[in-house]
């Protein structure tokens, strides 16, 4: 079984919640033509999604996404009615999305709000956090809470209410605490002894939304084994 095969966490006639592995694209990208994606897997397993969504030809059933290098929970609509309901919840910021993120350096404040708008950086597919008033920059809101501090890195639980491209990565980079394993928004310099991570330390651990029956449903996914193991390289600190 391929390590890039998604895992089904929950399945109903209206939606499916999957655990996306790191390294798998959610949908086709111009930068990776012909590469197998989550959408390819979805169409094979749930062919009805081909008629669902605002752009079913390229993003069938897809209401939100995760970066290729990230892992974690995603909900995919199997019916147009569920798609529209999820879309409204995303627009109204009533969907609860939480991530575990390891960043470089010591984050001093135990929690914080980042509200820097995000727009294109103009090169290499990168995005950038801007001051308000910059043309084409869109509102972005990221809340973080420190869960643990280690020598040289900090583990955060991050909640976002907007879904901008690379949002968490861009906001952490703007705070001068880049995400560990990020090659697009990298730390300027780390010591030779710093352990190498061949993926992004960003995992969607919690997802909650309201279903068509009006019930609030919640899903959780612990850190993948490779991320849990990676933390053991660092010594915990209490301050």
Structure tokens at 23: 């390294």
Active site residue 40: no
Contacts of 84 (CB under 8 A, 6+ apart): none
Closest by CA to 174, choosing from 112, 133, 120, 130, is 130
- Residues 15, 21, 22: CA angle, nearest 5 degrees: 135
Q: Is the pTM of this model over 0.75?
A: yes
DSSP three-state, residue 7: strand
* pLDDT recorded at residue 124: 64
Distance CA 39, CA 28 (A): 8
Superfamily designation of domain 7-229: Pseudouridine synthase (3.30.2350.10)
* Contact of 15 with 76, CB cutoff 8 Å: yes
* pLDDT recorded at residue 238: 77
Contacts of 42 (CB under 8 A, 6+ apart): 16, 49, 60, 61, 76
* Contact of 54 with 67, CB cutoff 8 Å: no
The catalytic residue among 14, 54, 55, 67 is: 67
* pLDDT recorded at residue 90: 93
* pLDDT recorded at residue 1: 36
Distance CA 218, CA 204 (A): 13
Radius of gyration of the chain (CA): 18
* Contact of 203 with 227, CB cutoff 8 Å: yes
Distance CA 103, CA 169 (A): 9
What are the structural domain ranges in the chain? Answer: 7-229
* pLDDT recorded at residue 28: 76
Per-residue pLDDT of the chain in tens (239 residues, 90 and over written 9) = 346 899 999 999 999 999 999 999 998 766 656 689 999 999 999 999 999 999 999 899 999 999 999 999 999 999 999 999 999 999 999 999 999 999 999 999 999 999 998 888 766 678 888 765 556 778 889 999 999 999 999 999 999 988 888 999 999 999 999 999 999 999 888 877 899 999 999 999 999 999 999 999 999 999 999 999 999 999 998 76
């Amino acid at each position: 079984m391929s390590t890039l095969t998604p895992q089904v966490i929950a399945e109903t006639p209206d939606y499916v919640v999957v655990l996306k592995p790191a390294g798998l694209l959610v949908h086709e990208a111009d930068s990776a033509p012909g590469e197998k994606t989550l959408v390819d897997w979805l169409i094979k397993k749930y062919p009805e999604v081909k008629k669902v969504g605002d752009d079913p030809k390229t993003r069938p059933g897809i209401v939100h996404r995760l970066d290729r290098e990230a892992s974690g929970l995603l909900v995919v609509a199997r019916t147009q009615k569920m798609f529209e309901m999820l879309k409204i919840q995303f627009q109204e910021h009533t969907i609860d999305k939480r991530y575990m993120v390891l960043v470089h350096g010591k984050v001093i404040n135990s929690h914080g709000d980042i509200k820097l708008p995000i727009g294109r950086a103009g090169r290499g597919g990168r995005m950038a956090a801007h001051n308000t008033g910059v043309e084409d920059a869109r509102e972005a809101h990221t809340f973080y809470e420190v869960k643990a501090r280690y020598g040289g890195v900090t583990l955060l639980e991050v909640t976002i209410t907007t879904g901008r491209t690379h949002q968490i990565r861009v906001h952490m980079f703007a705070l001068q605490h880049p995400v560990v394993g990020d090659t697009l928004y990298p730390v300027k310099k780390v010591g030779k002894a710093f352990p190498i991570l061949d993926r992004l330390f960003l995992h969607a651990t919690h997802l909650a939304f309201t279903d068509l029956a009006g019930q609030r449903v919640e899903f959780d996914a612990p850190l993948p084994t490779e991320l849990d193991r990676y933390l053991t390289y660092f010594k915990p600190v209490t301050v």
